[in-house]
């Protein structure tokens, strides 16, 4: 599970490490492939490390969400055509928990969070068991909620935090407690 972090599309303005990382996004950054919008973007910012086999990755995420599609969370990536991004995304004037699974083309699912405020810390967790990935979130220390269970190849990959701002530059994202370790139990309904 060891591995050094590296930047994919390093932002101009960043400071910190896996214990506490802050950065501002560049202009019109995103990870997306074709579906609905018809474009491909692979210029979002991500702080990633290698992963092999099964694992759980997690981080606490905060952002200055103001503009449509401002987003911050986790990214699991094999290459530019095969990845999962998940976390908070600002759309329709609200924070949403968002999951995009991309296998050649992207899909998008959202869970509205009308009770959440941008100042609320959101914990994001992604677990790979064999060829499946479970995505979960917790707001302000509440219990973990499952957002998605999806197929994903059991290949060597990279995982870490990401942030994008498809409509602007300068979205401020803050992360703490970025962790990658052994996978949590396979029980989908456990409170762990």
**Confidence check: pLDDT of 8 > 50:** yes
24 burial class (0-12, 13-18, 19+ CB within 10 angstroms)? middle
Q: Which CATH class is domain 6-181?
A: mainly beta
CB 1 within 8 A of CB 180: yes
Average pLDDT estimate for 45-58: 97
For residues 182 and 51, the answer to whether their CB atoms sit within 8 Å is no
Q: What is the largest CA-CA distance in the chain?
A: 41
pTM: 0.95
**The tokens of 120 are what?**
């609320």
Burial label, 57 (beta-carbon count in 10 A; 0-12, 13-18, 19+): buried
- Confidence at 39, pLDDT banded by 50, 70, 90: confident
| CA quadruple 181, 185, 190, 192: dihedral, nearest 10 | -20
Of all helices (H) and strands (E), which one includes residue 26?
A: none
Q: Which residue has the tokens 């759980």?
A: 56
Tens of pLDDT, residue by residue over 107-126, are 999 999 998 888 899 999 99
Does position 192 have pLDDT exceeding 70, yes or no?
A: no
Which two three-digit tokens encode residue 95?
């924070």
DSSP string, 134-179: EEEEEETT---EEEEEEE---S-EEEEEEEEBTT-S--EEEEEEEE
Q: What is the pLDDT of residues 64-80, one digit of tens each?
A: 999 999 999 999 999 99
Assign residue 111 a region (left: φ > 0; alpha: ψ between -120 and 50; beta: otherwise).
beta
The distance from CA 4 to its chain's CA centroid, rounded to whole angstroms, is 18
| pLDDT at residue 139 in the model | 93
Q: What pLDDT, on a 0 to 100 scale, did the predictor assign at position 1?
A: 42
pLDDT value of position 188: 79
């Amino acid at each position: 599970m060891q591995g050094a972090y590296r930047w994919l599309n390093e932002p101009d303005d960043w400071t910190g490490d896996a214990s506490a990382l802050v950065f501002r996004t560049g202009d019109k950054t995103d990870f997306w492939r074709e579906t609905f919008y018809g474009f491909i973007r692979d210029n979002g910012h991500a702080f990633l490390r290698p992963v092999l086999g099964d694992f759980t990755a997690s981080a606490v995420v905060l952002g200055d969400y103001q503009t449509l599609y401002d987003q911050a969370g986790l990214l699991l990536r094999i290459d530019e055509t095969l990845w999962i991004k998940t976390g908070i995304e600002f759309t329709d004037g609200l924070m949403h928990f968002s999951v995009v699974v991309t296998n050649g083309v992207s899909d998008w699912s959202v869970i509205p969070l009308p009770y959440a405020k941008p100042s609320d810390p959101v914990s994001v967790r992604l677990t790979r068991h064999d060829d499946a990935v479970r995505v979960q979130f917790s707001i302000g220390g509440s219990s973990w909620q499952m957002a998605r269970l999806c197929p994903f190849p059991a290949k060597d990959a990279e995982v870490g935090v990401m942030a994008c701002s498809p409509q602007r530059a300068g979205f401020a994202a803050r992360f703490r407690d970025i962790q990658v370790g052994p996978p949590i139990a396979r029980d989908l309904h456990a409170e762990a």
